[in-house]
Structure 1
Amino acid sequence: MTAATHDEWLRRAKTLELPRTHLIDGAEEAGGGSTFRAVSPRDGQVLTEVADGGPAEVDAAVSAARRAFDHGPWPRLAPAERGRVMVRLADLLDEHRAELALTVSLEMGKPITDAHDIELRAVINTFRWYGQLADKLTDESPHTPPDALALVTREPAGVVGAVVPWNFPLTLAGWKVAPALAAGCTVVLKPSENSPLSALLLGRLALEAGLPPGVLNVVNGNGPVAGRALGLHPDVDVLAFTGSTAVGRHFLRYSADSNLKRVWLELGGKSPNIVLPDAPDLDKAAAIAAWGIFFNQGEMCTAPSRLLVHSSVAEHVTEAVVERARALRVGDPLDPATEMGALVGEHHLDRVLDHVRTGRDDGARLRTGGARTLTETGGVYLEPTVFDQVTSESRLAREEIFGPVLSVLAFDDLDEAVALANATEYGLAAGLWTADLSTAHTVSRALRAGTVWVNCYEEGDLTVPFGGMKQSGNGRDKSVHALEKYTELKTTWIQL
């Protein structure tokens, strides 16, 4: 846990040296010379000017990754050696933990305690876990007739384009990059234009760890230009994307319009969190419900944004959530005492406030929050917001808000709860609170979600896969299963 004080983090922020260029073929490149401003949502101040990439920079990065894959040492290294480089990278991330956490906090508004203790812990563990896994994978030799030998080998898929969002800029980059590297692939990473700085620092440390030039390239730029160029590039073999469902559709089109590259998508969510009257601890369920929707400013695809509560306990649970929302400390992300920081930017705040206005117009009851706050800071802050009396047909109940806005819906029986939970185009995650073992199993099976948490929320580790159903995407991050995205199965049949 970070022991630095608010004043210490402020001092470090003043002397922090931030990257400004792309990272292509092992070198920092300014590209064509155009730039964009990296603005901190903490106070609206410009952090730095960052090189703005387009098709030319993407092509240079993909070409470097192609050469590194076709002719370089990385895919041909012994898996144990690849693993050692990745573990060295994990060690370097740990050594630079404060610098990386500060960069994340400044560029996207995450509280420094969460950036240091949660985000950095996750990315360090990810590279270490996949580095240690690299030489533990085995191929297959199926049983064949006596006059033949069959081999099934898992080979690296090639050049991977990884496009990641701003809400967990290092964690989600790690979930894509680490298994791709462990498999022997080369990568072009396109971070969000809202959070390019931490990704560039990751690239620098990867080179220091011993990753050969061209194996990990980082290109900045906005999605409609740089992201599109990566999606359409004919030398990209695999595209892995985390972000909105709308943009995910674009990447599928880019694949169809180019080389039919495999596209793996982790998209939006409107996750239900079901509280039954027999929950082991209703107050704990309420506390976790509040934590889940307000953690990371609600900017999470898995955020339990729909609280489905049995009508017999709905008022008790809702009031407990409201009390916690009102007590939550919203403030400067660089203050270790802050529990909820800044939203990523003005445009995103406007979008969230539009949902708040629509909720009021639709007749939902605003129990707390719903307004911008801390305007004197110049930053982008919103009060923790709770609506109840939400109908299942409203935008509050159906659309991903991606902000600290909770919708409470009441139900009368278990069948209604499951129907409400599944009444969404998304299927990323769900929560269930019950003391009955049979209910836990039957309802978990009935929920159309990639992850179901029972009597908890957002728990797990790298041993378990993560991903969605329906319009929340396909494929899985984390666990051994993530390697399926970055490898090809080859069958070799030898007639003896």
Structure 2
Amino acid sequence: MFSHKYFGKELGHLIGGKSVPPHSDQMMPSFNPATGEVLAYIPEGTAEDVNLAVAAARKAFEGPWSEWLPWERHRLFMRIYEVIEQNFDELAYLTTLDIGTPITKTLGMKQYALKAITYFATQTTNIGGQTLPNNIGTGVMTMTVKAPVGVIGGILPWNVPLVGLWWLLGGTLATGCTIVLKPAEYATMTILRLVELLYEAGLPEGVVNVVAGRGGVVGQALAEHNDVDRVVFTGSVQAGRKVIMASASNVKRVQVELGGKSPDIVFADAPMELAVPGAAMAVYNNCGQVCTAGTRLFVERKAHNEFVDKLVKFSRQMRIGPGIAHDTDMGPLISQGQLDRVMSYVDGAAPEGATLVTGGKRLGGDLSQGYFVEPTIFCDVRPEMTIAREEIFGPVISVIPFDTEEEALRLANETEYGLGGAVWTQDLSKAMRMINRVKAGTFWVNCYDWMDAGVGMNGYKLSGYGGKGGPTHMDNFLYQKSVYINHTYSGDVPPVGAGLRA
């Protein structure tokens, strides 16, 4: 059985490279969602803790870290690569016990993490501006340069700590920014341990800080803080709106990734050997607790019955159990509260006219102490039903039939969200039409939820703004200066403002 130095302990924040006791003596339990047992106790951070962490981050940003050259930051990434590679199994098991994701999945995140570290390492030496022509005079040189924006506030979700963290750490370390992280209450241990490993790799004091606690306190304090230059939030639409409003205190930069209700479109000509497991795991992955989950499954009517039969068969073969078991396909939901939420949607679907074809029950027996629910499929779902409109964040699929390509597009776009989407077809022209017309920031063809740091992901509509990863990712951590250089030192210099319109 996996054990860890954190288990049974009261943990502290990680500020200035050291474990720091919380300003308040209030602690909250961190539960194993598979058993309901307490793993450790997490500090309930306060605004005072945030002030201390932001001050440490600002000191590091203005101090020696600001003098690190690109090649030195690149070398740090390479040391981080080695440390994370050597300790990834520990992080994977800790994450599995912390949030319930099957160990085969968390161990499988190793390659993603290492590839992300490698990608962001390359970006350290890939930051530059431009020399630009001007209409002022031959004695003037004009150009742009890019500089780190400063202290970042990162408010993290609990569902994918081993993956989601690198979107923030990569940009922060590559550009020379510093950061204060607020982990989710349910996934604090993974973040604390991972940041400890960064310091073991040689990270300077104060560059990355962690303040644990509740979103309404720590997250709010970060979003409001006048010495935080940029805030990044992943979570619900309701909480995202509060972050956006709080950011107005100093008009800080904001990036938000919010909810999703992604359309997954299956045409009759789809490669069924890919589409059936692909559509299933687009929802069952991480027990449906993924923002991009393809919970609105649109199936062309002439393939509907066959596809649903195969989907039900696949669902019933899923092995449900504690994530720590290597034969588990789907683990528990994160908490009792999330279980209650998911079951409220399941229980409310039939009264609205949906037909339950498989699943729909909380698991008992040996699993009764955990937060387990069966993989669930509803048919006869209409677009206006609650389960087809609202984000459930659980393993619940709503199957909606369609007859034509135009109908599929209309149904796919009838949502206030726009995070992800997918199409399954062997017709390339049809796939391209879907890519161009489905309103989503990230889109997959004959696959689902594939992700690469060098390509990234984006949101649209209520799903947020400010993409993660890809060629423009570093710009989120930089600001641009326009520079004018008088290199003649002669009396021929135009008067101030000469280049401006009258």
Q: TM-score, normalised by structure 1?
A: 0.95
Residues 267 and 424 in structure 2, CA contact (< 8 A), matched pair in contact too: yes
Bigger shift: residues 453-462 or 359-368? 453-462
Q: Deviations over 1:356-404 (max 9, x none)?
A: 0111111101010011014533111010000011000011111111110
Deviation at 1:19, TM superposition (A): 7.6
The one-letter code matched in structure 1 to 2:204 is P
Q: 1:302 aligns with which of 271, 277, 292?
A: 292
Corresponding residue for residue 229 of structure 2: 237
Secondary structure of 1:453's counterpart equals: strand
The one-letter code matched in structure 1 to 2:414 is A
Q: 1:274 aligns with which of 251, 265, 290?
A: 265
Corresponding residue for residue 370 of structure 1: 360
Tell me if 1:437 matches 2:433. Answer: no
Where do residues 80-159 of structure 1 align in structure 2 (5 Å cutoff)?
80-118=71-109, 120-144=110-134, 146-159=138-151
Residues 279 and 297 in structure 2, CA contact (< 8 A), matched pair in contact too: yes
User: Equivalent pairs: percent with the same residue?
Assistant: 38
Deviation at 1:192, TM superposition (A): 0.1
- 1:322–1:210 Cα change, 3 Å: same
Residues 377 and 397 in structure 2, CA contact (< 8 A), matched pair in contact too: yes
- CA distance in 1 between counterparts of 2:4 and 2:451 reads 36
How many residue pairs end up in the alignment? 482
Corresponding residue for residue 480 of structure 1: 471
- CA distance in 1 between counterparts of 2:366 and 2:190 reads 27
- CA distance in 1 between counterparts of 2:336 and 2:111 reads 29
Q: Deviations over 1:86-127 (max 9, x none)?
A: 221122111111111111001100101111112x33233222
- CA distance in 2 between counterparts of 1:15 and 1:111 reads 21
The one-letter code matched in structure 1 to 2:277 is A
- CA distance in 1 between counterparts of 2:301 and 2:326 reads 38
Residues 154 and 231 in structure 2, CA contact (< 8 A), matched pair in contact too: yes
Secondary structure of 2:483's counterpart equals: strand
Deviation at 1:345, TM superposition (A): 0.3
- CA distance in 2 between counterparts of 1:467 and 1:137 reads 21
- CA distance in 2 between counterparts of 1:349 and 1:177 reads 31
Tell me if 1:23 matches 2:20. Answer: no
Tell me if 1:338 matches 2:328. Answer: yes
- CA distance in 2 between counterparts of 1:389 and 1:278 reads 22
Residues 260 and 463 in structure 2, CA contact (< 8 A), matched pair in contact too: yes
Residues 287 and 320 in structure 1, CA contact (< 8 A), matched pair in contact too: no
Residues 13 and 102 in structure 1, CA contact (< 8 A), matched pair in contact too: no
Residues 167 and 299 in structure 1, CA contact (< 8 A), matched pair in contact too: yes
Corresponding residue for residue 175 of structure 2: 183
Deviation at 1:300, TM superposition (A): 0.3
Tell me if 1:426 matches 2:417. Answer: yes
Residues 98 and 116 in structure 1, CA contact (< 8 A), matched pair in contact too: yes
The one-letter code matched in structure 2 to 1:58 is V
Tell me if 1:250 matches 2:242. Answer: yes
Corresponding residue for residue 64 of structure 1: 56
Deviation at 1:422, TM superposition (A): 0.5
- CA distance in 1 between counterparts of 2:454 and 2:244 reads 28
The one-letter code matched in structure 2 to 1:390 is V
The one-letter code matched in structure 2 to 1:395 is T
Corresponding residue for residue 209 of structure 1: 201
- CA distance in 2 between counterparts of 1:19 and 1:455 reads 46
Deviation at 1:28, TM superposition (A): 0.4
- 1:31–1:15 Cα change, 3 Å: closer
- CA distance in 2 between counterparts of 1:14 and 1:190 reads 22
Secondary structure of 1:400's counterpart equals: coil
Q: 1:200 aligns with which of 192, 200, 219?
A: 192
Residues 16 and 99 in structure 1, CA contact (< 8 A), matched pair in contact too: no
Secondary structure of 1:235's counterpart equals: coil
Deviation at 1:480, TM superposition (A): 2.9
- CA distance in 2 between counterparts of 1:351 and 1:262 reads 33
Corresponding residue for residue 459 of structure 1: 450
Tell me if 1:228 matches 2:216. Answer: no
Corresponding residue for residue 5 of structure 1: none
Residues 10 and 27 in structure 2, CA contact (< 8 A), matched pair in contact too: no
Residues 6 and 189 in structure 2, CA contact (< 8 A), matched pair in contact too: no
Q: 1:49 aligns with which of 38, 41, 50?
A: 41
Deviation at 1:240, TM superposition (A): 0.6
Residues 274 and 308 in structure 1, CA contact (< 8 A), matched pair in contact too: yes
Secondary structure of 2:444's counterpart equals: strand
- CA distance in 2 between counterparts of 1:31 and 1:492 reads 44
Deviation at 1:16, TM superposition (A): 6.6
Deviation at 1:291, TM superposition (A): 1.5
- CA distance in 1 between counterparts of 2:125 and 2:64 reads 16
- 1:15–1:253 Cα change, 3 Å: closer
Structure 1 gaps of 5+ residues are 1-9
Tell me if 1:324 matches 2:314. Answer: yes
Q: Deviations over 1:463-484 (max 9, x none)?
A: 2121210010101111232212
User: Once superposed, which parts of structure 1, at least 4 consecutive aligned residues long, lie more than 4 Å away?
Assistant: 14-19
Corresponding residue for residue 314 of structure 1: 304
Q: TM-score, normalised by structure 2?
A: 0.93
Deviation at 1:15, TM superposition (A): 7.0
Deviation at 1:255, TM superposition (A): 0.9
Corresponding residue for residue 174 of structure 1: 166
Q: Deviations over 1:259-318 (max 9, x none)?
A: 111110111110101111222x12421121012110111110011111101111111111
Secondary structure of 1:165's counterpart equals: coil
- CA distance in 1 between counterparts of 2:113 and 2:154 reads 15
- CA distance in 2 between counterparts of 1:267 and 1:15 reads 34
Residues 380 and 399 in structure 2, CA contact (< 8 A), matched pair in contact too: yes
- CA distance in 1 between counterparts of 2:121 and 2:4 reads 34
Deviation at 1:456, TM superposition (A): 1.3
For the pair shown, the structure with the greater C-alpha radius of gyration is 2
Tell me if 1:264 matches 2:255. Answer: yes
Deviation at 1:440, TM superposition (A): 1.4
Deviation at 1:180, TM superposition (A): 1.6
- CA distance in 1 between counterparts of 2:237 and 2:123 reads 31
Bigger shift: residues 435-444 or 45-54? 435-444
The one-letter code matched in structure 1 to 2:129 is D
Where do residues 351-362 of structure 1 align in structure 2 (5 Å cutoff)?
351-362=341-352
- CA distance in 2 between counterparts of 1:88 and 1:353 reads 45
- CA distance in 1 between counterparts of 2:365 and 2:435 reads 43
Residues 451 and 457 in structure 2, CA contact (< 8 A), matched pair in contact too: no
CA RMSD of aligned residues (A): 1.4
Residues 40 and 108 in structure 1, CA contact (< 8 A), matched pair in contact too: yes
Secondary structure of 1:63's counterpart equals: helix
